[in-house]
Chains A and B, each alone.
Chain A
Amino acid sequence: MSEALPEFDLARPATVEEAVAARAGAGDARYLAGGTDLVVNMRRGIVAADRLIDLTGIAELDRLDLDGGGTVIGAGVKLAAVAENAEIGARYPAVAEAAAVIAGPQHRKMGTVGGNLCLDTRCVYYNQSEWWRRANDYCLKYRGNVCHVAPGGDRCWAPFSGDLAPALLIHGAEIEIAGADDRRRMALSDLYTDDGADHLTLGDGELVVAVHLPADNWRSAYDKIRVRDSIDFPLAGVAVGLKERATGGPELRIALTGTDSRPVLVDGIAEALADGFDDSTFPAIEKRLKKQVQPMSTTTLNAPYRRTAAAVVAKRLIARLVG
């Protein structure tokens, strides 16, 4: 029979160290977790690999440490487990809310935290069949020379659409990364760059092994717009965090996904809130939000709508949190 996937060699390591070693020295190797993004893209012919390193047998990646002050969520923890964990829901509501609405129920049983953070960017010119892309001379992200979304430019505008990242950014998450020689930790925001063709800053063979969340007292919420309320990727997703302070009024954070090639933590919110909440607060926040996101014509819904809708979702979430 003909296989749906091209030939590759599958490694099934039992430890993170074995996984990293299996990646080193392999030509075009990829880590495989739930497969809900990677396998689709391999079937579409937009991602090629001659070795897949299956991470599902690595016990360390399934760790979920809620005992200490902070929280550690292994990169292999399933999205459904995050959504259903009452303690995560209590400490980091936006994280659980985001996990609960990723794709459909089957995807959440398969997909992982690390996979959602490292999701490929998406675009109507990229997530297509081989014959469709060939008929359009391919695109800048794969095999082509021109970004059909912005033909005059020199970059790819495919947006990142992982739901967990904005929620984790609100809560100041760090990620733990394993490389060939050592482990390192960095702010989650440093995982991303604003280039749709190369949006992750991971070094060659590096693997995200866990998310570290500090103990905090941010209240938070997540919501998004999409064409259908299940399965679809977000056209714009918004996480909002609110923290009451002893003096100086509340502190607010807003982060977005689905609009840019990286998740965006909106700047300048503190200034907009300098005098606390009043009638002028939201217009000031909306102005900053709309200025800092750059949705392009990468989806079936037009870019101005997504920018406007993102601001509306943010406003609703702020109203919910402020109460």
Chain B
Amino acid sequence: MARIVRLKVNGRARSDAIPDNRLLVDYLRESLRLTGTKMGCDGGECGACTVLVDGEPQLSCLTLAASVDGAEIETVEGLAVNGRLNALQRAFHEKLGSQCGFCTPGMIMSAEGLLRRKSAPDEADIRAALSGNICRCTGYVKIIEAVDAAAAALRGQPA
């Protein structure tokens, strides 16, 4: 069965007929062509599919699109403003926080959730916030440096 689901996706109000069994990740990737959100492990173990649901990092591969009716969804595509990367995206680029890049959108959305809650996170905060996201390339050091640099940039301090 399908139903009309109203969502705000990256700031834009939408109203779409969505099958009951469609996962949020499939709705974003297949229906809206927002393919920045990645499907990594297929079972809630890797964090690559992390998006913000009402500002909180959640796993879109375990979320039914119909069950978040009325929610505000943010994906990595929604972070850049007028084509300009946001602080986290820029820091991941400049600090080499991304290698193969597959985990990066999930990492960035988890980090985005953290920076909205806490403007000056310490390393333990960053590690805790990213502990549900797995990276097989970087060894995490550069990712943590990137989040730290983004937080500093947002506070107006030199990285």
B89 at the interface (CB under 8 A from A): no
A54 to B44, CA, bound (A): 19
Question: Is the CB–CB distance between A110 and B63 below 8 Å?
Answer: yes
Question: Is the CB–CB distance between A104 and B42 below 8 Å?
Answer: no
A66 at the interface (CB under 8 A from B): no
Chain A 37-58 per-residue mask, 1 if CB under 8 angstroms from chain B, else 0: 0011001100000001010100
Q: Which residues of B have CB within 8 Å of A281?
A: none
Contacting A at CB under 8 A, from B28-73, are 30, 42-45, 47, 50, 56-59, 61-64, 66-67, 69
A40 to B47, CA, bound (A): 14
Question: Is the CB–CB distance between A8 and B131 below 8 Å?
Answer: no
Q: Which residues of B have CB within 8 Å of A109?
A: 56-58
Tell whether A35 pairs with B21 under 8 Å between CB atoms, given A105-B57, A107-B132, A110-B58.
no
A229 at the interface (CB under 8 A from B): yes
A67 at the interface (CB under 8 A from B): no
Question: Is the CB–CB distance between B47 and A44 below 8 Å?
Answer: no
A230 to B3, CA, bound (A): 36
Question: Is the CB–CB distance between B21 and A6 below 8 Å?
Answer: yes
A7 at the interface (CB under 8 A from B): yes
Question: Is the CB–CB distance between B57 and A36 below 8 Å?
Answer: no
Query: Of A1, A8, A39, A231, which contacts B62 at CB under 8 A?
Result: A39
A31 to B97, CA, bound (A): 40
Tell whether A1 pairs with B30 under 8 Å between CB atoms, given A35-B63, A44-B43.
yes
Contacting A at CB under 8 A, from B9-31, are 19-23, 26, 30
Query: Of B22, B61, B131, which contacts A231 at CB under 8 A?
Result: B131
B110 at the interface (CB under 8 A from A): yes
A3 at the interface (CB under 8 A from B): yes
Q: Which residues of A have CB within 8 Å of B66?
A: 10, 12, 54
Tell whether A8 pairs with B57 under 8 Å between CB atoms, given A35-B64, A231-B131.
no
Question: Is the CB–CB distance between B62 and A103 below 8 Å?
Answer: no
B100 at the interface (CB under 8 A from A): no
B124 at the interface (CB under 8 A from A): no
A103 to B59, CA, bound (A): 12
Chain A 230-262 per-residue mask, 1 if CB under 8 angstroms from chain B, else 0: 110000000000000000000000000000000
Among residues of B, the one whose C-beta sits closest to the C-beta of A39 is B62
Question: Is the CB–CB distance between A104 and B132 below 8 Å?
Answer: yes
**Size class of the A contact interface (CB-based, 8 Å):** 20 to 34
Contacting B at CB under 8 A, from A95-117, are 103-107, 109-110
Q: Which residues of B have CB within 8 Å of A158?
A: none
A231 to B48, CA, bound (A): 13
A34 to B56, CA, bound (A): 14
Tell whether A105 pairs with B131 under 8 Å between CB atoms, given A12-B67, A231-B45.
yes
Tell whether A106 pairs with B26 under 8 Å between CB atoms, given A12-B67, A43-B42.
no
Question: Is the CB–CB distance between B110 and A105 below 8 Å?
Answer: yes
A79 at the interface (CB under 8 A from B): no
Contacting A at CB under 8 A, from B105-150, are 110, 128-129, 131-134
A135 at the interface (CB under 8 A from B): no
A4 at the interface (CB under 8 A from B): yes
Q: Which residues of A have CB within 8 Å of B59?
A: 36, 106-107, 110
Question: Is the CB–CB distance between B58 and A106 below 8 Å?
Answer: yes
Tell whether A3 pairs with B63 under 8 Å between CB atoms, given A104-B47, A106-B57.
no
A5 at the interface (CB under 8 A from B): yes
Question: Is the CB–CB distance between A10 and B64 below 8 Å?
Answer: yes
B81 at the interface (CB under 8 A from A): no
A207 at the interface (CB under 8 A from B): no
**B63 to chain A: closest CB distance in Å?**
6
**B112 to chain A: closest CB distance in Å?**
13
Question: Is the CB–CB distance between A40 and B21 below 8 Å?
Answer: no
Among residues of B, the one whose C-beta sits closest to the C-beta of A33 is B67
Question: Is the CB–CB distance between A231 and B132 below 8 Å?
Answer: yes
A105 to B21, CA, bound (A): 25
Tell whether A106 pairs with B132 under 8 Å between CB atoms, given A1-B30, A3-B26.
yes
6 pairs, CB–CB < 8 Å, chain A vs chain B: A9-B20, A10-B67, A35-B62, A40-B62, A54-B67, A106-B110
List the 8 closest pairs (A to B, CB-CB), nearest first: A104-B132, A230-B131, A10-B20, A5-B21, A39-B62, A106-B132, A40-B43, A109-B56
Other A-B contacts than A4-B61, A104-B133, 4 sampled, CB-CB below 8 A, are A10-B21, A54-B64, A105-B131, A109-B56
